[in-house]
A = this chain, B = another copy of it.
């Protein structure tokens, strides 16, 4: 049996391992927390730091195939492992490009991938040279995650909220809709795309509020989005699963916001609502099996369960029983013992056919299920 190593042991790793138990594969996880969501679902858990060269190298040498569930990985070690003959998906080169928002944006520009107009800032001071870009979004190059490392700058008064490190200052797009497209690329370069999902964000936490699939977009927007994603994954030239977040402006133009070279929050609904889930699909890519079927079995809404503001401590899921009575609702709790405000603690997918029904169910879940301490 092939040995698969996963760098990172969060909920993405956990759900990947749930799916991995369907295939003949031996699983390994590297994470620095023995109580992380993936620790008890893998066959071999290694306590270590995926940011550390030696840890990643030692971990990678015992497996055949490596993948990631977070971008903040030691890429140097992955490059060494590729040189030693290991299969690393996504490729270290793509990971290096994507993990830093500055190089990610430069990559889009270089490959004529439509992306909002931007400049690079090295320090907070630099912002003052770019007042013409306002209103704008300031995104720190390295280390942003889950809404952290992104700051809206409406006017020069907001500059102190920016990042005093290499960052991207991106002109604000007049957004009509935010969508995401998942793409799977197999080891021979064959690509399949999932139907776009439409995202609705919480304006306070800057985290996904709920998400609908299919997205309500014009056919022309769909075609543009699909063409852009195809061009982008071809440019990456790497096997893997890619989640591409796209902005649709009020003129119907489509812009790449950012890409994750891995399974992604925006693909959780695929576990129940699509023939092949994003986890199943990534496993097929990793194990060099034929790609699965990305089509939807049903329309779906996805609600993240986020730690409620004001509560920190052992997690308690208020309203869980009511939500479990909802026909077609699927609860996923990530097994994190402690909640804190804004922490991703789980998600609920609910099936439905039309948008009104899905929106109503998403709101019921959002209102009815709270993570408290």
Contact = CB atoms under 8 A, between A and B. Distances in A.
B335 A289 contact: no
A43 B40 CA distance: 5
How many monomers of this protein are in the complex?
2
Contacts of A43: 40
B24 A317 contact: yes
Contacts of A351: 275, 297
A290 interface: yes
B324 A292 contact: yes
Contact of A21 (B14, B27, B315): B14
Contacts of A366: none
A16 to B, nearest CB: 11
A107 to B, nearest CB: 32
Nearest to A280: B330
Interface in A2-31: 14-15, 17-18, 21-24, 27
Interface string A314-334: 010100110011011011110
B18 A333 contact: no
Contact of A328 (B18, B24, B289, B293): B293
Given A42-B40, A297-B298, A333 B22 contact: yes
A315 B41 contact: no
Interface in A47-85: none
A138 interface: no
A284 interface: yes
Interface of A: 1, 14-15, 17-18, 21-24, 27, 40-43, 275, 284, 289-290, 292-293, 297-298, 315, 317, 320-321, 324-325, 327-328, 330-333, 335, 337, 351
What are the 3 closest A-B residue pairs judged by CB atoms, nearest first?
A40-B43, A290-B325, A24-B333
Given A24-B333, A40-B43, A275-B327, 17 more contacts: A14-B21, A17-B41, A18-B18, A18-B21, A21-B335, A22-B333, A24-B315, A27-B40, A40-B41, A40-B42, A41-B41, A275-B328, A284-B324, A289-B320, A289-B321, A290-B325, A292-B324
